[in-house]
Structure formats: structure tokens, C-alpha cells
Structure 1
């Protein structure tokens, strides 16, 4: 039996040896998964950006803010001077939590009823909101005990009242469904573009296209646009299904979301075009697409909070287009915020799209030559 099996096995080993790129991807992918999961797969967020609206401005209010900072769980992102500015900080994502200290806070601490503060959480990311909620309650209890000891009296002088914005129930579906829009959009656009061009090369029909009067740039646009339209239809499909089936309401402007999705498509289609300049077969294109998806899944904030990652991985997440698109899609779907608060993310998506499409076009042009 082995005498019959060995020739077949030997033939397959020869094929594997003759395709070193596929073999390299097969060995690199598990290493990337191990490293990324080892460092990125954590929800223990530290130094959560905190917006502070201190209406008392006394030493007692400053001591309370200091207690939040000293815990290591929070870091003051900015002090707000009004309710509108406080809300804008959380809407834009500059702060993931907020502390409102009412006027008369110091005076209330010395009274019998004690004082109250409001702690606001951005519920659009349940993992950060959950850990921040627990930390805020513990900090409030610790501060209350400290004040009780100082006063030598039984009543608790401080109460931290919590408010969860955007996702009061902190349901994971509200967080995951908008993120899936970006992930599905990237996977489909990248895979369809890379495999379509490689398929032309495998069949030998791309040479027939090259000798036609059409220019390389027109060829690229003609190949990409149909898949861009398909990807947009997929986006609408996921939005529609997420709203009806999972009960995730869209609070923002759908037209704005689709327009920004087109910017994101520039990057994803360019990645597919880059893969097509490297891959010789559709199998290689699929494996390379899978390899590029790993950083996007683990480092973009799709599952794990970026703030919980090591600084090196946070830097890497900054060059992944999906990182910025997730902020946009979650901001529009979950928060319903205005596009003006998303201008930094829109700018980065535009810049990455232009750079990637220029590089991919140059590479593809050279490959055609």
C-alpha cells in the first residue's frame, strides 16, 4: 500500500516545494495569529480617556478627579466648560467616559445628605464601558470610606450615579453588528478584486485585454468598479439585516455612511489590487487576503479595545484603514453623530485610499509590463 501512496505523496511535496509563497503564508499565518491574539486579545483597559465637567472648582472636586486618575483606570482627556462641550467630547470618541461634578459639591460633602456626582459612560463599546463602570463604582466607594474615616461618622458622604449613553443595556450586538459592516466590506472587496484579476491571468485572457486600445488605468477602473458596486450592495444588505434581525437601530444618516463607505472602498480595493500583483493563482490570492485580514480583525478595534493593546500594536492599528472606518460606522449607527465630528477619520480614510490606490496602480502597471 505504501508503495502506491508514496508516488502521490512525493508529487504533492514537489508541488509544495515549487510554490514557496503559499508555503510561507501557511507558516506565517499561525505565527501572526499567536502573536496578535497573545498581545491584542485583552479587554483590560487602562487609562480610559475621561471628560471632566467640574462645575464646583474646589479642592474637594479636584481631589475626586485625582482619585479617578490615581487609580490608573482613567486619564483626563479634557476639561469641559459646558454641557454641550462635554457631550461633544463623548460623541466624537475623544473621551470614553465623563465625570460631571455639580456646583456646591464641596458644601454638600459636609452636610448630612452627602454629595452626588454623575459618571457618564460611552456604551457603544460594552467591554470598555463594563470595566469603567466597575472601576468608577469602586473609586466612589473607596472615596466615600475615606471621607467617612475623616469625618468619623456613619453616613456615606458620596454617591456616584452612572449613566450609560447610546447603548444603555450594553448589548454586544449593538457593538458588533456595525463592526461587521466594515469587516465584511473589506473581506468581500479585497477577495473579489484580487481573485478576479488573478483569474484573468490564470486563463490567459488578461493579455488579450492588454493589447486592446484600453489604457492600463482604464483597465484597472473597469475591473474594480463592478466589485465596488457589489460591495456597496453588501453594505446595504448588512445594514438592513442588522436593523431588522438583530434590532440595531441606525441613528445617523445612511447616505453619509454610504458616502464614507466609498472612501473606505478605495483602500480595500487597492489592497486587493496589490494582492493581485503578488499572487499567481486564486489559491494564493485567497491565502494572502486571509493574511491581510488578521491585523484588521485583531488590531482595528473590531473585537478588542485598541486602548488595551501595547503601544507598538496601537501604532500598527493606526495604519489600518478599518480602524478609522469602524469609528465612523459605529459613530453614525450607534451614536447618530454629525459628520463634522468624524472629519479626522474621514481625512485618514481619504489619505490612505489615495496612497494605496496610487501604489497599487503603479505595481499593477509594472506587472502588466
Structure 2
């Protein structure tokens, strides 16, 4: 082995890395992003869960109990309603994760030693179920002591009942499989289209495409359409296996599930096209794709509780298509929600797709000029 020739190769590789700005950014940026995400954004302790309150008693003691629950920091009130049915509607739409119900006969129940309150939980997220169990341990010390209460009163730990909906068995597969559809579509769709334009350029086909009467819009949309079919096939495979192997329920319309998947597919394809207009090689396209996929995986609520993230991180996560798809697919499959009940997330995916397509087409024209 000739050390001089070996050293020449090392110098050559270092110079090549220096000219490759994308690789340099990945070398430094990826560890920094992971450190910030795991150290600052990801938190297993849920705080500030969106909660609805139905205090049908309206007494000083019932209000004191509700305040004690809020003071734990586990829940934050977003709505006050009159009946438990209204709370159930909000749970189905995904507006709240927890509903607190105080019955009209709160005082009589407290005297008789019966359950004095119920906590309604969206069981599609097992982390929320665990947090609700902690909330049920709220003591009743703040309520004024009643000397008429018998000595055999219900202990505080059983005075508040937790009622879990949509996943009472706490099966992790019920929570994971719907989200896995989105993760697979995000990983594959972005990657497929991210290398689409770059591959045409590397193979020398771009000059032929430029010579054709195709417009930039026609070329971009033509690149996207075949992958929509591929994405729907992937959705069908994951959905069929989830129902067959893990008994994952589909309580809503199957057409709504495919509508949600199609919106995510188009959003990811549009983002992949934008990446392809910026990357100079297929390797760079794959690097940028991984850089985009990592925050989507960690911040969307698939792996880690969304409610446990700091508020600024949650605002950033609202930009990610996977965040909205998880709410859509879990709402439709597990809670039986209709598109009209989850329209904000549908609208967010449509807006993201339109914005990415406009940027991709505009950037593609600039590169052709």
C-alpha cells in the first residue's frame, strides 16, 4: 500500500465533500436537529390536554373539584357544555381529548359514597388514557366536608371514574396501524418524487422533455399521477393487514379513509417534486428527503405524544402533512368521524398540496430558463 496515493484519495474526498453543500449541511445539521428534537421537543409527560367540561351540578363543591383537576396541569379547558352528549360529539370530532362530567346529583353522590364524576377519554391515544388515570386520582379534599356522610364513604381514589372510548382494551396496534399508513406514505411518496426530476436529468431525458410541447404544469402533474395509484395500493395493503392481523376497527366510511390517504399522498408528492427541483443528484434528493422525514416522524404525534411537546414545536408540527393525516385517519377509522367533522385537517392538507405544487412548478421553470 502506497501511503502517498492513499493520502491523495483522502484529500480528493475531502475536497469533494467541501463542494457538496448539501452533504455538509447534513453532517452538521442532522445531529443538531436530533439533539434539539429529543432534548427539547419530545416529552413523555403530557400537559395541557384539551378538555371539555360539563358541570351539571353547578355547586361550589363541584366547581372546586373541577378547579382541582385543572390545577394538576394535565388538562386545559377549551369548552364548557351542558350535557355529556355534547362532550361525546367533541371527542368524536377530535376537538378535545378529555371530557369532565359532573352529574346533577353531585352532592347526593358524595354523601352516599358513590362516584361523583366521570372522565371521558379519547382512547385512540394510549398516552392520553394514562394521563386520565392520573387525573382520576384528584382528591376530594377541596369539597366542603359533610358531617352527614357515612363512615363507609367511597375512597377518593374510586370517586372519579375513567371511561375510555374507541380503544378500551388499550391495544397499541389500534393506535399504531392507522398512523403507520401515514408514515409509510410519507417515506415512500416523498422519496419517489424527490428523485423523479433528478433522474430524468441524470439520464439525459430532460432535454427530450424540454423539446416536447409539454408545459411545466403538465410535466409535474404527469409525474405525480402514477404514484397516487401506488400510494393507494400501499394504503390498501396496510389497512387489510391491520384489520386481519390486529383487528383494527374501521368505524367510519372506508371511502373517507381513502380520501384522507389520497390527500396525504398528493401532499407528499408535491413536497417531493419541490425537493427534486432543488437537488442536483439522486443522492442529494435522498438526503433532503430523510431530513424532511425525521421531523415528520417525531413531531406528528405518531411516536411521541403531541400534547407533551412545547407550544412552539406544536405550531411547527402543524405545517407537517403527517400531523393532519394522523388526526384524520384516527378520527375516521377509530372514532367514526365524517369529513365534515374533521374539515380543518382536510383543508390543511389541500392548502399544503397547492402551496407545494405552486412552488415546485415555479422553481422548475426557473431551472429551465
Give 1:147 shift.
Answer: 5.2
Native 8 Å contact 2:44 2:308 kept in 1: yes
Distance in 1 (alpha carbons) for counterparts of 2:233 and 2:285? 23
Q: Secondary structure at the match of 2:246?
A: coil
Distance in 1 (alpha carbons) for counterparts of 2:313 and 2:113? 47
Q: Secondary structure at the match of 1:170?
A: coil
* Cα 1:114/1:220, change in 2 over 3 Å: closer
Give 1:148 shift.
Answer: 8.8
Partner of 1:266: 266
Q: Secondary structure at the match of 2:101?
A: strand
Native 8 Å contact 1:266 1:354 kept in 2: no
Native 8 Å contact 1:92 1:341 kept in 2: yes
Alignment of 1:1-369 (within 5 A): 1=1, 2-109=3-110, 111-136=111-136, 138-139=137-138, 142-143=139-140, 145=141, 151=147, 154-157=151-154, 159-369=159-369
State the TM-score, normalizing by the size of structure 2.
0.93
CA deviation vs aligned residue, 1:60-114 (integer Å, no higher than 9, x gap): 22111111112222222212223331111111121111122222112332x3434
Distance in 2 (alpha carbons) for counterparts of 1:181 and 1:112? 49
Native 8 Å contact 2:49 2:97 kept in 1: yes
Q: Secondary structure at the match of 1:44?
A: coil
Distance in 2 (alpha carbons) for counterparts of 1:355 and 1:19? 28
Q: Secondary structure at the match of 2:104?
A: coil
Gaps of 5+ in 2: none
Give 1:246 shift.
Answer: 2.6
Q: Secondary structure at the match of 1:164?
A: strand
Give 1:4 shift.
Answer: 4.3
Give 1:179 shift.
Answer: 0.9
Give 1:17 shift.
Answer: 2.1
Gaps of 5+ in 1: none
Q: Secondary structure at the match of 2:258?
A: helix
Native 8 Å contact 1:45 1:73 kept in 2: yes
Distance in 1 (alpha carbons) for counterparts of 2:303 and 2:115? 37
Native 8 Å contact 1:197 1:276 kept in 2: yes
Give 1:331 shift.
Answer: 0.8
Q: Secondary structure at the match of 1:280?
A: coil
Q: Secondary structure at the match of 1:360?
A: helix
CA deviation vs aligned residue, 1:121-162 (integer Å, no higher than 9, x gap): 1111111221221232x20xx21x555966497433551111
Native 8 Å contact 2:196 2:273 kept in 1: no
Distance in 2 (alpha carbons) for counterparts of 1:93 and 1:216? 39
Q: Secondary structure at the match of 1:52?
A: strand
CA deviation vs aligned residue, 1:342-364 (integer Å, no higher than 9, x gap): 01111111111111211111112
